Amino acid sequence: MKDIKIFAPATVANVSCGFDAMGFALDNLGDTMIFRKNKDRSIRINKIEGAKLPFDIYKNASGYVAKKMLVDAEANFGIDIEIYKKYKPGSGLGSSAASSSGTAFAINELLDRKYTQLELVKYAMLGEEVACGSQIADNVAAALYGGFILVRSYSPLDIISIPTPAELYVTVIHPQIMVKTLDGRNVLPKKVKLKKAIKQWANLGGLVSGLCLNDYDLIARSIEDVIAEPVRKLFIPHFDLVKESVTDCGGLAAGISGSGPSIFALSKGQEQAQKVKEAMNKVYQDKGIEYNLYVSKIGMEGVRTL
Ligand code: HSE
């Protein structure tokens, strides 16, 4: 194989109660990337469309992941990369994770699948460190595995695929303001009261059980975040109104996507997800903020060849 074109999905990390530990992939929103082998063994980013990102491979998540994988594999070729971003960085929808995991997947294909899926997650986490300062696995694992994932442990890394109910849909509103993951992490409490911690891990257990049991009501009542949401929602215009509008119109629940500012809502069925879209739209229209709205099935495939 000399070149490859891939789709790398947007992802929702945390899913409210699973800070740094849960995530899922979208089906129809994500970036496109093209990778071409070259003989001079250099790694170059030739094109970036849709976002302002560094072309320096040591500062670009994709370039860095490609470099690391090829050096470790002692590859006898280099790579020319083209990146087509379809949604903005700083959205809370795993933009850097799409670049990192898309690169890990594509380079592995060009190396005749030298690495395991877990190793790809580890390489993609290096890209996350370049882009946002920490080796976080929730977005990249969701992008690579597809569906819902749980990062059961960071050390050693242990990723679990969680079953996804067939009728689960997500609606996302992305206000066009930028919240850097680093800023979203700096506001988090350094200590958490035991009472709150109990609530959070009980909800995470509830969410995982609900997904496994196809129990939509259990999923709905488990999507609660008593740790990050109370401080992070302050960055997001009209967050409480949007959240209320989701449940008022029959959606299951809503929360902050990753570190924000996007807000995700889960629904049973596409029709309900469209109603949620209209409800979110009603809250934001005429408020003078630009925004994008998306409805997607949960993306079961993750990164894929186009
Ligand atoms: N779990 C991360 C956070 C998601 O909430 O900061 C961003 O990668």
Considering the domain architecture, whether residues 140 and 202 belong to the same structural domain is answered as no
Q: Determine whether the shortest distance from the Cβ of 229 to ligand 1 is under 6 A.
A: no
Considering the domain architecture, whether residues 120 and 78 belong to the same structural domain is answered as yes
Q: Which two tokens stand for residue 198?
A: 């109990």
Q: Determine whether the shortest distance from the Cβ of 127 to ligand 1 is under 6 A.
A: no
What is the 8-class DSSP label of residue 60?
A: S
Provide the pLDDT for residue 38. Answer: 97
Catalytic annotation on 301? no
pLDDT value at 123 more than 90: yes
Mean pLDDT within 26-42: 96
Considering the domain architecture, whether residues 185 and 242 belong to the same structural domain is answered as yes
Considering the domain architecture, whether residues 156 and 179 belong to the same structural domain is answered as no
Catalytic annotation on 244? no
pLDDT value at 115 more than 90: yes
Mean pLDDT within 250-263: 97
More confident residue, 275 or 88: 275
Average pLDDT of the chain is 96
Provide the pLDDT for residue 5. Answer: 98
Ligand 1: centre distance to CA 286 (Å): 30
Provide the pLDDT for residue 182. Answer: 84
pTM equals: 0.96
Structural domain count, the chain: 2
If we measure between CA atoms, which residue out of 263, 277, 273, 262 comes closest to residue 298?
273
Considering the domain architecture, whether residues 176 and 224 belong to the same structural domain is answered as yes
Considering the domain architecture, whether residues 50 and 118 belong to the same structural domain is answered as yes
What is the 8-class DSSP label of residue 119?
A: H
| 138 CA closest ligand 1 atom index | 1
User: Which residue pairs, CB below 8 angstroms and at least 24 apart, start in 200-203?
Assistant: 200/17, 200/19, 200/225, 200/226, 200/227, 201/17, 203/16, 203/17
Domain hosting residue 85, numbered range: 3-162
Question: From atom 6 of ligand 1, which residue's Cα is the shortest distance away?
Answer: 259
pLDDT value at 180 more than 90: no
Ligand 1: centre distance to CA 241 (Å): 23
Provide the pLDDT for residue 75. Answer: 97
